[in-house]
Amino acid sequence: MSRAEKPNIVFILSDDQGPWAAGCYGNDEIRTPAIDRIAETGMRFDNFFVATPVCSPSRATFLTGRISSQHGVHDWIREGNVGKNAAAYLDGEVAYTDILAECGWVCGLSGKWHLGHSQLAQHGFSHWYTHREGGGPYNGAVMVRDGELEEEPGYVTTAITDDALAFIDRQAGDDAPFYLSVHYTAPHSPWTGHPQEIVDSYDDCAFDSCPQEEMHPWAKGHPLSEGCLGNREMLKGYFAAVTAMDHDIGRILDKLEEQGLREHTLVVFVSDNGFSCGHHGFWGKGNGTYPPNMYENSIKVPFVISHPGRIPENTVQQAMVSAYDFMPTLLDYLALPLPEGVDLPGQSVLPMLQGENDAGRDEVVIYDEYGTTRMVRTEKWKYVHRHPDGPHELYDLANDPDERENLADDPRQKARISELKTRLQDWFARFVVEGRDGRDFSVMGKGQLRPVGGKWEDGKQPFAQE
**Secondary structure of 301-366 in HEC code, one letter for each residue:** EEEEEECCCCCCCCEEECCCEEHHHHHHHHHHHCCCCCCCCCCCCCCCCHHHHCCCCCCCCCCCCE
With contact defined as beta carbons under 8 Å apart, do 327 and 64 qualify? yes
8-353 fold: Alkaline Phosphatase, subunit A (3.40.720)
Express each pLDDT in 376-422 by its tens digit.
Answer: 999 999 999 999 999 999 999 999 999 999 999 999 999 999 999 99
3-class DSSP state of 265: strand
- Alpha carbon of 140 to those of 4, 121, 136, 176, 180: distances in Å? 41, 22, 9, 35, 24
Q: What stretches of 132-249 adopt beta strand conformation (E)? A: 139-145, 148-155, 178-183
Task: Report the CATH fold assignment for 366-453.
Answer: Arylsulfatase, C-terminal domain (3.30.1120)
- Whole-angstrom distance, CA of residue 185 vs CA of residue 133: 10
User: CB burial class (10 A; 0-12, 13-18, 19+) of residue 205?
Assistant: middle
Distance CA 444, CA 245 (A): 30
Q: How confident is the model at residue 361 (pLDDT cuts 50, 70, 90)?
A: confident
First-to-last alpha carbon distance for the chain, in angstroms, is 53
Domain ranges of the chain: 8-353, 366-453
Residue 451 DSSP one-character state: -
Give this prediction's pTM: 0.97
Express each pLDDT in 79-125 by its tens digit.
Answer: 989 988 899 999 999 999 999 999 999 999 999 999 999 999 999 99
Does residue 360 have a pLDDT over 80?
no
Residue 424 identity (one-letter amino acid): L
Asked whether 403 and 382 are in contact (CB, 8 A), the reply is: yes
Predicted confidence at residue 1, as pLDDT, reads: 44
> Radius of gyration over alpha carbons of the chain, in Å?
21
CB 409 within 8 A of CB 390: no
Classify 411 as helix, strand or coil.
helix
Mean pLDDT of 59-66: 98
456: pLDDT confidence band, cut at 50, 70 and 90? Answer: low
